[in-house]
């Protein structure tokens, strides 16, 4: 688990370094707030929606390592090229390509991780993994900020330097595959389950539990009101609240909050169950209420709240899926879960970007209403598990 966390640490170094300046980068090439919102939302939709294909493919072929390596490779190649794209359409394509890499690898990676965390407690295991992610997500943006400051906001060198940890990601993945070819053995030792059948069914009829679908609906509702950092950073720079070089520093701080939130909610999840997830819609509503003000301190606090919500999204939400779905259908479940949420991510990027340009008070009102609906869906999910 720790070694896989190291892979994620290095990968986050690469792609979170790039994501920390996506909004200002696209704006420098002529993008409007709506374009930034749609592109970043479409990127998240691709990262999630395409798992509808990669998840079942992983269960069917059981080639978890191969899919994980292919996805990471696409990401670490796309990021350095983003710095030399030069035109808006190419930069937009590379932003989305980087997210496609995440779609290819994530169901396989999450399934590998779910096996490894069977013995440690899934809430804690996924939380520790997310915390290691955020070390990379902290260092990457800080490095990008430093290079931007030294080069006078030249995006080429700032993104090009991220090729180094990208190469390290691929080397470590090949080493891990050679040393641990069958991580599913960890879970078999704990549960005493038989090895998974070739079709990934373990003798089941292939249906996913009802609780899984209500849980996916809750997550989709929450995500549809979640602003991307691209829109947040666009606001900060266009309203002259922060300079471009300071935006990655704020992103790094948000990633530190992300790690703390993941550890806290993971620990609480293992002890108290999914009720702790009520914090997610509350934080999501708080983001738009705080981050889109014209007061620097309040907008910064809103961005840190965004980091806390991200920490829960990236750790405890995934741990719950592993507890709802048996091993043989887990990659498929992760793919379907992400596909449902992917549509909500695209809607959320377009919603927050579009309403931001129209009226910030209307944006806040709409998001608060959506998150209230999410709370209701969480209560339905809890009752369907009983």
Q: What is the dihedral of CA 193, 198, 203, 204, to 10 degrees?
A: 100
Give residue 180's pLDDT: 74
More confident residue, 290 or 349: 290
Region 185-207: mean pLDDT is 52
Region 103-132: mean pLDDT is 75
294 — phi, psi (to 5°)?
-105, 15
Poorest-pLDDT segment among 167-171, 243-247, 271-275 = 271-275
372 contact partners, CB below 8 Å, separation of at least 6: 281
Give one DSSP letter per residue of 119-163, joined into a string.
Answer: TT-HHHHHHHHHHHHHHHHHHHHHHHHHHHHHHTS-HHHHHHTTH
Mean pLDDT of all residues belonging to the chain: 83
Give residue 281's pLDDT: 92
Which contacts of 288-291 are long-range, i.e. CB under 8 A and separated by 24 or more positions? 288/225, 288/227, 288/352, 288/363, 288/364, 288/367, 288/368, 289/364, 289/368, 291/227, 291/232, 291/235
Work out the percent of the chain whose per-residue pLDDT is above 90: 22
Give residue 166's pLDDT: 92
Region 113-120: mean pLDDT is 68
Q: What is the dihedral of CA 114, 1, 109, 17, to 10 degrees?
A: 130
Region 328-353: mean pLDDT is 79
* pLDDT category of residue 52 using cuts at 50, 70 and 90: confident
Give residue 386's pLDDT: 55
Distances (CA, A) of 363 to 222, 237, 351, 375: 15, 19, 8, 19
> pLDDT tens digits, residue range 127-176?
777 778 778 878 888 899 899 989 988 898 999 999 999 999 999 999 88
* pLDDT category of residue 178 using cuts at 50, 70 and 90: confident
Give residue 109's pLDDT: 85
Region 360-380: mean pLDDT is 89
Give residue 344's pLDDT: 80
What whole-number distance in Å separates Cα of residue 87 and Cα of residue 21?
16
Work out the percent of the chain whose per-residue pLDDT is above 70: 89
Give residue 201's pLDDT: 45
- pLDDT exceeds cutoff 70 at 24: yes
* pLDDT category of residue 383 using cuts at 50, 70 and 90: low
Poorest-pLDDT segment among 37-46, 175-184, 233-242, 360-369 = 175-184
Give residue 187's pLDDT: 59
Give the DSSP H/E element, type plus range, for residue 305: helix 296-314
Give residue 301's pLDDT: 94
- pLDDT exceeds cutoff 60 at 356: yes
* pLDDT category of residue 77 using cuts at 50, 70 and 90: very high
If phi > 0 it is left, if psi is from -120 to 50 it is alpha, else beta; for residue 242 that is beta
Give residue 199's pLDDT: 46
* pLDDT category of residue 206 using cuts at 50, 70 and 90: low
Give residue 186's pLDDT: 56
Give residue 225's pLDDT: 86
């Amino acid at each position: 688990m720790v070694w896989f966390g190291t892979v994620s640490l290095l990968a986050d170094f690469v792609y979170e370094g790039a994501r920390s300046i996506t909004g200002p980068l696209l704006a420098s090439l002529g993008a409007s707030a709506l374009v930034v919102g749609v592109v970043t939302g479409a990127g998240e939709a691709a990262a999630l929606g395409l798992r509808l294909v990669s998840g079942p493919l992983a269960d069917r072929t059981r080639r978890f390592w191969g899919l994980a390596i292919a996805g990471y490779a696409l990401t670490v190649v796309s990021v350095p090229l983003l710095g030399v794209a030069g035109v808006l359409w190419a930069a937009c394509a590379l932003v989305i390509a980087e997210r496609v890499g995440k779609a290819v690898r994530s169901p396989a990676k999450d399934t590998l991780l779910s096996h490894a965390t069977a013995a440690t407690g899934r809430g804690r295991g996924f939380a520790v993994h997310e915390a290691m992610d955020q070390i990379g997500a902290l260092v990457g943006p800080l490095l990008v900020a430093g290079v931007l400051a030294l080069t006078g906001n030249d995006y080429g060198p700032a993104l090009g330097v991220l090729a180094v940890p990208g190469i390290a990601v691929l080397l470590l993945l090949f080493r891990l595959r050679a040393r641990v070819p069958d991580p599913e053995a960890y879970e078999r030792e704990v549960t005493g389950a038989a090895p998974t059948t070739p079709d990934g069914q373990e003798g089941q009829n292939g249906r996913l539990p009802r609780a899984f679908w209500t849980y996916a609906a809750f997550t989709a509702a929450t995500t549809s009101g979640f602003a991307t950092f691209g829109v947040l950073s666009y606001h900060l720079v266009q309203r002259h609240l922060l300079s471009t070089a300071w935006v990655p520093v704020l992103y790094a701080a948000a990633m530190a909050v992300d790690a703390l939130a993941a550890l806290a909610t993971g620990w609480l999840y293992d002890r108290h169950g999914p009720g702790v997830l009520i914090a997610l819609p509350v934080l999501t509503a708080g983001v738009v209420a705080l981050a889109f003000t014209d007061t620097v301190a309040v907008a910064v606090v809103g961005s840190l709240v965004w980091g806390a919500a991200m920490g829960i999204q990236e750790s405890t939400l995934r741990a719950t899926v592993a507890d709802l779905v048996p091993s043989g259908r887990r990659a498929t479940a992760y793919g379907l879960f992400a596909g449902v949420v992917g549509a909500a991510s695209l809607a959320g990027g377009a919603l927050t970007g579009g309403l931001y340009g129209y009226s910030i008070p209307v944006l806040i009102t709409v998001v608060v209403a959506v998150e209230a609906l999410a709370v209701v869906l969480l209560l339905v999910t809890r009752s369907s598990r009983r």
